[in-house]
A and B are shown apart, each in its own frame.
Chain A
């Protein structure tokens, strides 16, 4: 992580050179061991805050799924489950490559380290591309096109009006909506609508916020892995100093774990 990479410090701090210890040991630490433990602990504490951040969204999810169980089951059908499943595999494999990268760093195998980080970058990018395709599918439907390609080329139109992007134009497909509407009336709720005022929108709102926030974390994760690749290529990483890889890897695993929860909660609840 950035906290342990050596950079220039203000001149007055340097009363002595780095001869006595490795370049990477910052001056306020006693030993490399202490520096490593501190960095790892700091990352773990930060990961706790990340879990609490997503915790707020999970809380909202619980509240509304509890309130509208049949809407949730219904709405989940309209997400692209195969693509979601592929993305899950992609992320799980990327976690493996990160773990292997840490191992390679520990063993001082620079070539394997770079390869593994490179594969991680590729997998992370693949995830974002697939996710982007899923999003654009939803936006294309709002524009009336059958799929994103048709949206750009002006090809096939969507037969049934559908717009699952939350907002004023939100329309959940009529047939399903009417069915659930009767359920809702039986349960004594106010008549659910299929437009922007319907609880269907809440599902997609949470879907876009949760996966969007996750995608933001993916971008941050990719940036971190890129930096790690760069410093590994520069030869900063040695068997005695591979804390950045380990700490960055922790962050990557967290993003992965959050997706492991998001996937069933949104795609598989029907």
Chain B
């Protein structure tokens, strides 16, 4: 803009005269930072709801008999957990909250390319959420989050259509976000911000957006077909009517396998930022990390068949899918090795975000390696639909995405709110989550290997000890999730004023004030350096200057 910018106030600054104006200033905002806060509240609400459903599942599983709920209610409970956690928490969590807040800041832009589309995406998310919630209130849905046909289309007597509509609408919300991110990354970068100066978080979000754009419409149409089949009794997926139920599985996993990369790629982006900042070192192998995100995005589209090894899929296609699944391990491992190499000789400070990042690396390695086990056809057939699979994807989704989400929330909390959280409680809760998580899900690997099938609420008595261990771990995990809610909310009132750059980090988002003004920057920054321009001697200097209690 040619005009001179006046000093601006923080985006949280409230200058509305009355309550009605205040509500409007939030619900009709086009500021990406306010929309990120709206998302933060909504997404955390859904997370707690999904967690509540998981709680009931874990309570039921303490005893081998079905004493808390019937098998039907149990089905509805784990479906509620799956649908809410996948569609309304994991998929939007990092892109819609952290991505929305940070993308323009990291790119040196005043806002996302399409601010009103951004607001629309939040409304679509809420609208889809209301559908899914009303389905739950009206009696729930019992198909599992995968909606496999012909059960979901012909036989289930639960609220399939309402839930599907919710997931369908929510899909448009992620598409809107992805279109916004792609256009913003291409066209709104600050002067001098070349592609290879972008923070790795932006690369990860860009790769995620490509996956969202290419995959989400396919699940949209698959779910639409299921709904139509249910409504009119026509059999596109019903073998009795000439249809092919496997077609649904193909269409569904063509989205839902890439969808696990929609969930984990943003987490990779967050971890790259955290590792670099808290090692005080430029990231090791920048280009490799950036391109491994793109490689995962591309390869992720070619492996959906590994969910269908025990369907009637041809054994030859299973072999090909198995091989490509192994290939995905390469870019994933590249990331882990590069993060580890970044730590080497770094000046590592164990602040809360870093604890989450280090926890992430450990848990993701376990989750990723068991993924390779499952990619091998022979082993997969042995453990298909057992708790081994459940443990594997919880290690990636909870141990990966949620750890990164929480790490990111803590890392950028001072930027979002202008206040520091309580570091001691932060560290404690990160450790509690790590311990509770392993206690919950590690026994499930053993359970699954011994033959405990998933989605059953009664089981042989010899499994009880492991189930009790898992449920006890879930309690610890729940405590770990509740503590941050308390101290983060308290920090809004009592937290220390953070200052612009409490971590001494290099990103553009730290160059502006905390919280940032409505248009993000006093004037558009000009970028002259790479993203992680920590001086080479930063680590040595930190070590020399370290005193007990020093901030870094």
Are B113 and A199 closer than 8 Å at their CB atoms? no
User: How near does chain A come to B165, taking the closest CB pair, in angstroms?
Assistant: 15
B366-416 at interface with A (beta carbon < 8 Å): none
Are B179 and A46 closer than 8 Å at their CB atoms? yes
Are B242 and A42 closer than 8 Å at their CB atoms? no
The interface bits of chain B over 226-243 (1 if a CB of A lies within 8 angstroms of the residue's CB, else 0) are: 001000111110001111
* Residues of A contacting B8 in the complex (Cβ-Cβ under 8 angstroms): 15
* Residues of B contacting A56 in the complex (Cβ-Cβ under 8 angstroms): 217-218, 220-222, 225, 251
Q: Which of B36-44, B180-188, B194-202, B542-550 contacts A (4 or more CB under 8 A)?
A: B180-188
Q: How far is the CA of A16 from the CA of B360 in the complex (A)?
A: 45
Asked if A187 lies at the interface with its beta carbon under 8 angstroms from chain B, I say no
Asked if A132 lies at the interface with its beta carbon under 8 angstroms from chain B, I say no
* Residues of A contacting B117 in the complex (Cβ-Cβ under 8 angstroms): 3, 42
User: How near does chain B come to A9, taking the closest CB pair, in angstroms?
Assistant: 7
Which of A49, A201, A209 makes the CB contact (< 8 A) with B242? A201
Max chain A Cβ within 10 angstroms of own Cβ: one of B112, B235, B518 = B235
Q: How far is the CA of A20 from the CA of B187 in the complex (A)?
A: 22
Asked if A59 lies at the interface with its beta carbon under 8 angstroms from chain B, I say yes
Which of B25, B114, B234 makes the CB contact (< 8 A) with A166? B234
Asked if A198 lies at the interface with its beta carbon under 8 angstroms from chain B, I say yes
B159-216 at interface with A (beta carbon < 8 Å): 175, 178-180, 182-184, 186-188, 213-216
Which of B6, B9, B222 makes the CB contact (< 8 A) with A16? B6
Which of B184, B233, B250 makes the CB contact (< 8 A) with A167? B233
Interface contact tally, CB-CB below 8 A: 157
Closest to A167 in B: B232
Q: How far is the CA of A21 from the CA of B1 in the complex (A)?
A: 8
Are A10 and B242 closer than 8 Å at their CB atoms? no
Are A53 and B217 closer than 8 Å at their CB atoms? yes
Are B213 and A202 closer than 8 Å at their CB atoms? no
User: How near does chain B come to A210, taking the closest CB pair, in angstroms?
Assistant: 10
The interface bits of chain A over 53-96 (1 if a CB of B lies within 8 angstroms of the residue's CB, else 0) are: 11111011001100110000000000000000000000000000
Which of A10, A30, A34, A55 makes the CB contact (< 8 A) with B30? A10
Are A167 and B234 closer than 8 Å at their CB atoms? yes
Which of A29, A45, A52 makes the CB contact (< 8 A) with B179? A45
Given contacts A30-B1, A56-B218, contact A196 B518 (CB under 8 A): no
Asked if A27 lies at the interface with its beta carbon under 8 angstroms from chain B, I say yes
Q: How far is the CA of A221 from the CA of B214 in the complex (A)?
A: 22
* Residues of A contacting B183 in the complex (Cβ-Cβ under 8 angstroms): 38, 41-42, 45
Closest to A9 in B: B30
Closest to A200 in B: B242
Are A15 and B232 closer than 8 Å at their CB atoms? no
* Residues of B contacting A196 in the complex (Cβ-Cβ under 8 angstroms): 233-235, 241
Asked if B288 lies at the interface with its beta carbon under 8 angstroms from chain A, I say no
* Residues of B contacting A48 in the complex (Cβ-Cβ under 8 angstroms): 213-214
Are A10 and B3 closer than 8 Å at their CB atoms? no
Asked if B109 lies at the interface with its beta carbon under 8 angstroms from chain A, I say yes
User: How near does chain A come to B501, taking the closest CB pair, in angstroms?
Assistant: 24
Asked if A234 lies at the interface with its beta carbon under 8 angstroms from chain B, I say no
The interface bits of chain B over 108-119 (1 if a CB of A lies within 8 angstroms of the residue's CB, else 0) are: 011111111100
Max chain B Cβ within 10 angstroms of own Cβ: one of A3, A34, A54 = A3
Q: How far is the CA of A12 from the CA of B24 in the complex (A)?
A: 13
Asked if A192 lies at the interface with its beta carbon under 8 angstroms from chain B, I say yes
* Residues of B contacting A19 in the complex (Cβ-Cβ under 8 angstroms): 3
Q: How far is the CA of A12 from the CA of B17 in the complex (A)?
A: 13
Closest to B209 in A: A45
Asked if B28 lies at the interface with its beta carbon under 8 angstroms from chain A, I say yes
Given contacts A27-B110, A201-B235, contact A53 B220 (CB under 8 A): yes
* Residues of B contacting A175 in the complex (Cβ-Cβ under 8 angstroms): none
* Residues of A contacting B13 in the complex (Cβ-Cβ under 8 angstroms): 12
- Interface extent on B, as a size class? 35 or more
Q: How far is the CA of A170 from the CA of B234 in the complex (A)?
A: 9
Q: How far is the CA of A59 from the CA of B183 in the complex (A)?
A: 28
User: How near does chain A come to B195, taking the closest CB pair, in angstroms?
Assistant: 15
User: How near does chain A come to B33, taking the closest CB pair, in angstroms?
Assistant: 12
Asked if B244 lies at the interface with its beta carbon under 8 angstroms from chain A, I say yes
Which of B188, B225, B228, B244 makes the CB contact (< 8 A) with A67? B244
Are B242 and A198 closer than 8 Å at their CB atoms? yes
User: How near does chain B come to A146, taking the closest CB pair, in angstroms?
Assistant: 24
Q: How far is the CA of A197 from the CA of B175 in the complex (A)?
A: 36
Are A199 and B242 closer than 8 Å at their CB atoms? yes
Are B233 and A168 closer than 8 Å at their CB atoms? yes
Asked if B130 lies at the interface with its beta carbon under 8 angstroms from chain A, I say no
* Residues of B contacting A29 in the complex (Cβ-Cβ under 8 angstroms): 188
User: How near does chain B come to A149, taking the closest CB pair, in angstroms?
Assistant: 26
Are B244 and A27 closer than 8 Å at their CB atoms? no
Are A197 and B217 closer than 8 Å at their CB atoms? no
Which of A13, A55, A197, A205 makes the CB contact (< 8 A) with B519? A13
* Residues of A contacting B218 in the complex (Cβ-Cβ under 8 angstroms): 52-53, 55-56
Q: How far is the CA of A57 from the CA of B222 in the complex (A)?
A: 8
* Residues of A contacting B242 in the complex (Cβ-Cβ under 8 angstroms): 64, 68, 192, 197-199, 201-202
Are A60 and B114 closer than 8 Å at their CB atoms? no
Closest to B34 in A: A10
The interface bits of chain B over 18-49 (1 if a CB of A lies within 8 angstroms of the residue's CB, else 0) are: 00000001001111000000000000000000
Q: How far is the CA of A15 from the CA of B8 in the complex (A)?
A: 8
Are A205 and B524 closer than 8 Å at their CB atoms? no
Are B187 and A38 closer than 8 Å at their CB atoms? yes
* Residues of B contacting A28 in the complex (Cβ-Cβ under 8 angstroms): 104, 109-112, 115, 188, 519
Which of B2, B114, B225 makes the CB contact (< 8 A) with A21? B2
Which of B111, B175, B225 makes the CB contact (< 8 A) with A60? B225
Are A49 and B175 closer than 8 Å at their CB atoms? yes
Q: How far is the CA of A59 from the CA of B246 in the complex (A)?
A: 12
Q: What are 16 A-B pairs with beta-carbon distances under 8 A?
A: A12-B13, A15-B8, A20-B3, A26-B115, A34-B187, A38-B183, A41-B182, A42-B113, A42-B114, A42-B179, A53-B220, A60-B236, A168-B233, A196-B233, A199-B242, A201-B234
Given known contacts A3-B117, A49-B214, what 10 new A-B pairs fall within 8 Å (CB)? A3-B114, A10-B25, A10-B28, A12-B15, A13-B31, A16-B3, A38-B183, A41-B182, A60-B247, A201-B234
Closest 5 CB pairs of A and B: A56-B221, A53-B217, A28-B110, A28-B111, A52-B217
Residues of B within 8 A of A (CB): 1-6, 8-9, 13, 15, 25, 28-31, 104, 109-117, 175, 178-180, 182-184, 186-188, 213-218, 220-222, 224-225, 228, 232-236, 240-244, 247, 250-251, 518-519, 524
